[in-house]
Amino acid sequence: MPNLRRSLGAIEAFGFSLSIIAPALAMAFTTTLTAQSAGRAAPLVYLIGGIIVTIVGLSFVAFGRRVAHAGSVYAYVGSVFGSRWGFLAGWALLLTYVTLLAGATALVGNFGAAALGHAGIEGPHLWLIVAVLGAFFAVWLTWTDVLLGNNTWALSSSRRTSIRR
């Protein structure tokens, strides 16, 4: 096992904390929309969704034990149904990631425009401007602070990493 650096800065610790709380925030921000759409059936919708996500997660665990490959969905589906279906499944997953990114970016734009609206700053397409700026900020963080990702990975895979003072 390679030697890992035994330090984690404040920015890296913040990034790790944010990555842990992000799924809970996603559920908290979408609850009102789900309740508006599903009405009194919202708890049932969350229960059914949770069951489906659990089944998908268990499928990934089972395939991960059987198929040692870095190709994720492509490898798993391809090993069962053939490479053509694996190719389609891989592209479907990419489409899922793209639509998730678009939805998250729109959500950032909507929340940012609402916050600016409370501060008295309004405009016809303010949400779009905030969303684009948020997307560029996320890309900038991704490209300039790879150390954050590396340290977060090291923290999650090693018990010997400690926080730098």
The total number of residues shown for the chain amounts to: 165
Task: Mention every residue, 6+ apart, whose C-beta is less than 8 A from residue 75.
Answer: 63, 67, 69, 86
Question: What's the one-letter identity of residue 20?
Answer: I
CA distance 122 to 128: 12
Radius of gyration of the chain (CA): 20
The pLDDT > 90 percentage for the chain reads 27
Gap between the terminal Cα atoms of the chain? 25
Q: Which ranges of 8-72 would DSSP assign to H, the alpha helix?
A: 10-38, 42-66
Q: Are 34 and 45 in contact (CB under 8 A)?
A: yes
Max Cα-Cα span within the chain: 57
Query: What pLDDT digit, counting tens, does each position of 85-115 carry?
Result: 999 999 999 998 889 888 888 888 988 999 9
Question: Across 68-72, 79-83, 143-147, 158-162, which has the greatest mean pLDDT?
Answer: 79-83
Query: What pLDDT digit, counting tens, does each position of 132-160 carry?
Result: 998 888 887 777 666 666 666 666 555 44
Q: Are 6 and 160 in contact (CB under 8 A)?
A: yes
Q: What average pLDDT does this structure show over 25-49?
A: 84
Q: What average pLDDT does this structure show over 127-132?
A: 93
pLDDT at residue 161, rounded to an integer: 45
Q: Are 152 and 16 in contact (CB under 8 A)?
A: yes
Which two structure tokens, joined as six digits, stand for 26? Answer: 């996603």
